[in-house]
Amino acid sequence: MEIAPGMVVTSKKPHPCGSREWLLLRVGADVKLRCVVCGREVWTTRVKFEKMIKGIKE
């Protein structure tokens, strides 16, 4: 899967604020995401990240 910082991805399940869009901030063994609506930042493992995403917006 080709992903890079700056891309916006959509998740399968919504964030508690209602948004499904996330901005990629850091990509590696761990992935850092920022919610597009509320600005909350989240760290997750690459494996969990690849399971949670539905699509990529460029």
8-18 pLDDT, tens digit per residue, is 999 999 999 99
Question: Is 1's pLDDT higher than 80?
Answer: no
Q: What is the DSSP string of 24-41?
A: EEEESSEEEEEETTT--E
Residue 4: DSSP 8-state: -
19-56 pLDDT, tens digit per residue, is 999 999 999 999 999 999 999 999 999 999 999 999 99
- What ranges do the domains of the chain cover? 8-57
pTM assigned to the model: 0.89
- Give dist(CA 24, CA 35) in Å, integer: 9
